[in-house]
Amino acid sequence: MKLNVTWGASLTALLGSAFLAFGLYHVHSFSGVTEGGVLGMTLLLEHWFHISPALSGFVLNAACYALGWKLLGREFLAYSALSSAAFSLSYKVYEQFDPLLPQLAQMPLAAAVLGAVFVGVGAGVCVRAGGATGGDDALAMSAARLTGWKIEWIYLLSDFLVLALSISYIPLKRIGYSVLTVILSGQIIGLIQRLPLPSRRTSS
């Protein structure tokens, strides 16, 4: 069975992934403001075990996709695999350079808002294209199917669980800014999903 994957959506997913990776490296990883879900877990692993998000992000996402693949369409998995690989490659490239905004370490509110924009736009664009940069979506869908809970509560639970673990290396005050980032980025993702899409041509 042929995959209904388009060049336009694929390029959109690539750009969204690169935008997300840029924000995660240049804002989140140096500001002390973290994220929930898989993104936040990659930062947690980087801090305590010095595992690059380029590696941990790919592994965690793959595990989430494997868990939920029966609940997701083949096109979603294809775009998600593309987005995940593009994110890991982009982050690895950004790691070769010094951070552009190191002063954000002293500006947590600005970091929270700017980080939310990068995460919300980057992830939102990828989801709008038909996939996801992280395995959070697959994990949330699987958990919602197993528990019968509303999916929005699954997202909140996973985000706040990671934020709670992040207290082990991030001051409680900054966790408050991280909560702001999670809330704002979620709203941006939702807004992008309501934007109209241009007509798309299927790749041959």
Q: Per-residue pLDDT tens for 101-130?
A: 888 888 888 988 998 899 889 988 887 887
Structural domain span for residue 49:
37-98+113-193
Angstrom distance (rounded) from CA 58 to CA 40: 13
For residue 156, being part of any structural domain is answered with: yes
Neighbours of 102 (CB within 10 A): 11
Q: What is the pTM for the complete model shown?
A: 0.77
For residue 60, being part of any structural domain is answered with: yes
Angstrom distance (rounded) from CA 63 to CA 193: 25
Three-class secondary structure of residue 6 per DSSP:
strand
Number of domains in the chain: 1
Name which residue leads in pLDDT, 141 or 192: 192
